[in-house]
Chains A and B, each alone.
Chain A
Amino acid sequence: DGGITQSPKYLFRKEGQNVTLSCEQNLNHDAMYWYRQDPGQGLRLIYYSQIVNDFQKGDIAEGYSVSREKKESFPLTVTSAQKNPTAFYLCASSFDRSSPLHFGNGTRLTVT
């Protein structure tokens, strides 16, 4: 079955630590995205990548970093510079920028 896998489902970290969230897809999609979802707010775009070795900042990129070394993988690092990292993080992919998004089932990050 094709799809997007995010791991782990729950992640706990202490303040000041960097943490990397995994996202893998086997849909052969070129475009991949990271969104953040907070209660009462719409999904907000952190970073997106349209092709391997290229990525662009979204609306809330500060305190985050990404890499796109392989088509299948788009890991997100939440750095200690992110002021409010506790959130539900969603990875998505699409065939191209105008196609609907396929989402993973998210990683809930809690930083204390």
Chain B
Amino acid sequence: SQKIEQNSEALNIQEGKTATLTCNYTNYSPAYLQWYRQDPGRGPVFLLLIRENEKEKRKERLKVTFDTTLKQSLFHITASQPADSATYLCALRGANNLFFGTGTRLTVIP
């Protein structure tokens, strides 16, 4: 099965800076990769999906890249705001399952 590693458990960043979160996977490259946001005590919320033939995807202040050679996806939040503080999860489709990473808890400091 897939093993997914998200760079760190926690990341603190100053308001206005760009936050960069990393998702590394082993084994086979998935057809696509998803990013979710999870707030404490709530279910994850879907943010972006990027396919293996797409190098980059953008949505407002969010940008995702997907490098199948490095087996890595980077998730960027530009001009970060305190409201961006949450846990961010990456997920990859396996044969019968969507595998989730353990997440990175982002804190944006005012």
A residues in contact (CB < 8 Å) with B: 4, 6, 33, 35, 40-43, 45, 48, 56, 58-59, 90, 92, 98, 100-106, 108
Contacts and interface: CB of A to CB of B under 8 A. Distances in A.
A100 B43 contact: no
Which has the most chain B C-beta neighbours within 10 Å: A100, A104, A106? Answer: A100
Contacts of B34: 100
Given A58-B97, A59-B97, A100-B34, A41 B102 contact: yes
A103 B89 contact: no
A98 B93 contact: yes
Given A56-B96, A59-B97, A101-B98, A43 B89 contact: yes
B97 A45 contact: yes
B88 to A, nearest CB: 12
A30 B96 CA distance: 15
Interface of B: 1, 4, 31-32, 34, 36, 41-46, 49, 89, 93, 96-103
Contacts of B4: 42
A105 B40 CA distance: 10
B103 A42 contact: yes
